[in-house]
Structure 1
Amino acid sequence: MIVIVDNATLNDIAMSFLKKKYNLTVVVEGKYLHMRCITHIINVIVNDGLNEMNDLVARVRGAVKYIRQCPSRLAKFKERVKDAHIESKSFLCLDVSTRSNSTYLMLEQAQKFERSFEAFDSVDLYYKGELLMGDGVSN
């Protein structure tokens, strides 16, 4: 028998209770009775990594939001993409807190357009100032 649960402390207590109550140490001394959910473990690792890069992610998110919020800014940015001869089937996307891979996708897309972001600064006078004042974007 194997029980798969997340990493909550109450689950540790419950598993300890089950081992004692039902004497569940017969196979390999019960080492593999309580398995951690791999999805939960991966999620914790990814979130810890993202927290380490929080400032970078916030800056990219702020830049993408700023450009996508206004049709004229988006048109200017698309011109910078064209000028830089960047070919891509997909475009800038924002991450969504309920989609686990959306931050990765946002960063991946933004990286493709790095030269366009740099060139956009020269055609939009408010770009840098807005990013510095935006939520979560520090100087």
Structure 2
Amino acid sequence: MERVLKNPEVNKRIRELRENYLGIKQGFYAADLGISQGSLSDVENMRNNPSDRLIRDICLRDNVNKEWLLEGKEPIFLPVSRTQEIAGFMGEVINAENAGSFKQQLIHVLAQLNEEQWQVLADMYQLLLKEQNEKSSGEQ
């Protein structure tokens, strides 16, 4: 019995997302999504419909606009909040593959600062920002 695809465009967009926008190999993407490479291949190659769970997981994992995935309505990606951006960065920093990296060392040092030391950093930041703005307005 041949399966009928609900909306083959969704299958095509899943492949397009993985290949063209994320640039990730099928096996790695499938593993990240908690499915087998064969299952993802079946979806991408129009042999199976994507499950509701797969669609949800793709949207959550990659901040994909569900309306784009299901209907083709742009934008492809949803805007990322500052909190989400920081959380993503922190997730990358604490990844075991980055053990001992400069990013981990810097975050470790920052985590040990007291309020007075944070204020010194805030003051330095303001000075650097002011200097950068003065340079930018001088170049115009």
More helix by share: 2
**Higher RCO structure (Cα 8 Å, ≥6 apart):** 1
When normalised by structure 1's length, the TM-score is 0.27
More strand by share: 1
